[in-house]
A and B are shown apart, each in its own frame.
Chain A
Amino acid sequence: MNDLLQFAVIGFSTGAVYAVLGASLVSIYVATGVINFAQGSVALWAVWQVAGLRTNGVLVLPVGSVQLGSGPMDVWPAVLIGAASGLVWSLLAHLLVFRPLRRAPELGQVVASVGVMLFIQALIPLRFNAKALGTEPSSLIPLPTLTSKVFTLGGATIAVSNLILAAAAIGIALALAGYFRFTRMGVATRAGAEDEQALRLMGYSPDRLAAFMWGTTGFVSGLIVILAAPAIGGLDPTSYMLYVVPALAVALVGRLTSIGVACGAGLALGSVQQILLFLTTKSWWPSWAQAGVGDAVPFVIVVVALFLLGRGIPERGARDAGAQAPVQVPRLRPLWTAAPVAGTAVAIVLTTGQWRFSLVMSIILTLIAASVVLLTGYLGQISLTTMAFAGAAGFALSKLTTNVGVPFPLSMLLAALTATALGIVVGVPALRIRGAQLAVATIAAALAIESFVFNNPAMTPYTGNLIADPSLFGFSLAVREGTDLITLRFSFMVLVIVAVLLIAVTRLLSGATGRAFLAVRSNERAAAAAGVNVPAVKLLGFALASFLAGIGGCLIGYSRGQLSAASFTVLVGLAVLATTYVGDITRISGAILAGIAGPLGLLYLVFTQTIDLGHYYTLIVAAAMLLRVVVFSPHRGAVPEWLLVRRARRSPAQPPAAAHAKEPADVR
């Protein structure tokens, strides 16, 4: 019993982080309607900022760095500056990204916040380098900020710092909730989320109120993570960034409206995870479930909360999907299909080694991006699970080929069908939730799959998850032969499989299936009234998309000879979404561009081999994604709209109708 108490209190450290990030997410949602996936990344910068200051007094900036004082900085000034850096990042994100996008469709907003998340995440290792810090970044640890006192209570050893963290989280949540409930500005902010015009009549600028909220949440998120970092340990960028997933889970438990519930749920989740961690060490706990339970819990919470929250068919007056990127229904033209396939075949023959390998990776990524086009571009379901489906298939392929010995084409088919089954399960929440909330559910699913399956030692033998080379009728299709890094035969096999599947996808999207997808994307109620079985169509979309991703995952697996968990992380998944969005998420040709630009594809090799920009790859992809959504948006983003308004003002004779309806009131 006292063990349980002890672990429950230890859990307050991560719990406080979930609580404050969750409360921040709710606050931003209430004020602006944005679900900010970058909340964890903003806090991550703050943690590194403090680490830099307390190591030798350097203030690392996005460009350059400043030496403050001669040695390590004291605790509290460093903490304050660190939290302030969270404020600045959050405010910048608001001004440069979210404010221009405040009328954009949800997909645009999700893509933007994922872009901000990837951008900060990629910038940190680049900026906090040995040169700026004066020491190896890997040697840094978060130095303690709070007291190290402990006391015992009923046999349990309790660290005072954990109680302070919980109290801080509760205090922050109370302050945020109080702001919305009791201050005039807070009440106005809530009102403004529903009716900006009314807010202006009351004499408030919706923008300033939103900016205040972004700044405040950036500050408190930074602060709590800085305080908790020594207890939760390490400075690993990815794990901090992903704290946003449990935080999103608790924000949803609070129905994205209750800060108090989000805070309570956050603290409870932290405790439950620690207790589970403790229980997994017991002998009676099944060994296969020792890893990853901590990540599975948020997923279960998200799914249950969203399912209870959601509605089968959106109500009358429910928030519309908004203007979406227009879609051109594809037409299969023999020449336009044959030419790129032939060109790629020639390129395969002409290249060798690394270049051919990257080319083949690009072909595979095209297939995976096509699955994103189908599910997100056409059907409008924002899914961040694509790479997890691919990885799950690769994982199944390894088991099927090495443990069971299933022969080649069948093994790949069965593995892809495993991913399909998983896709249908992950698609079930989509029956009742939509838009950004679905993105939350799917990223939680991706994280759960990653840690429960790929990174679960119980499911991976010491030798790794080996994948037997494919062969057909005794004819080897192995990727390697002698010193050849990648054989012609394997490359052609990939090309044929991908080309056939892409043609099939094009046929589907240009037929009744594509029409039904687009109908569901643009209006679920009207689709149902037109006789479309909306739930079935959504599950069909998830099934097809996960099948395509699954084949892609198998091909990646074959190309490595084993399941490389690193190829299928949540981060890679986000990068695939990013490149597909940049390429054009509503077209198969966009998938091809995404394939070329995707992780480890051709563009990546060009970066590393010719201009030595490999380190900057993710940063560049994230920046491209942000530019694409904010400036060159397919649904006509802020800047083109702004230009239209300006042009309309100059020649008031023909005001463009759309520009008038969407005219941002603060343009002067």
Chain B
Amino acid sequence: MSVHELEAQFQRKIDAEVKIEPRDWMPEAYRKTNIRQISQHAHSEIVGMLPEGNWITRAPSLKRKAILLAKVQDEAGHGLYLYSAAETLGAARETMIDDLNSGKAKYSSIFNYPTLTWADMGAIGWLVDGAAILNQVMLCRTSYGPYARANVRICKEESFHQRQGFESLLVLSKGSAEQKAMCQDAIDRWWWPSLMMFGPKDSESTNNDQSIHWKIKRKTNDELRQQFVDMIAEQVKLLGMTLPDQHLKWNAERQHFDFGEINWEEFWNVVKGNGPCNKQRLAARNKAHDEGAWVRAAAVAYAEKSNERSQNNHNSWAAA
């Protein structure tokens, strides 16, 4: 079959909602696009542990500490599901880790913002995980089978993340004047960066949208962002708090909330590596990787030795 015919056959499968599996024929660009997207998604889960890890030792109660630990552990798991999915396409785990640690690979910019108060843990769960969930629910139907399955597993765990965040803010919103102020402040700082998580406006993308054609992505950035705004604009009322946007208003004609303009200059600055915590995040990842080197080496040495030993035992058995 010619490449042209293979491509046509491939697209017919995509159009018919047949999932693509690792050993199926696929266009090289489809493979590459998926490796990029899945590994960046994985990196986001891994770096995403850092802002919250910052508060584990300072959580206000044992209950909150246990919840936060469980959530951060889930994010590590999400990273691992995704790295495995990328590996089914021929990407090497070590290469992906190297690319993250060297700064070559990107991760979601949201994790380059600092976590200044305890209320940030609530705001992250509610807003950041909330935004991630919309993306990941869409990706449960992505065309590459292993990536879709990884997202199904992730989504099962994510709903607890968002709920614990909202509940944590709910407690603060009913607390002392100081706690209420802390709650509002966290919402004020995380609102706009959360909207940026969906990426540039659709009108900014001049390239034709191959990802949608291949059903890797199934909704555009603007569609997902609008869905998020509509959801959060209602939920915030239950907290008795406000979103820091004076243009936020229900539009009966569109049946959606209108909202103000994102500060795109800030967006690009953080993407380019000049966010408040870009350097700190990469330094933390590199430190963890370097300090874990002897553990990885020791595990390999141990495995080799016990392998040898069982070989020898086997041989002496055979001789006896």
Decide whether A and B are members of one complex. Answer: no
Q: Which residues of B are interface residues toward A (Cβ below 8 A)?
A: none
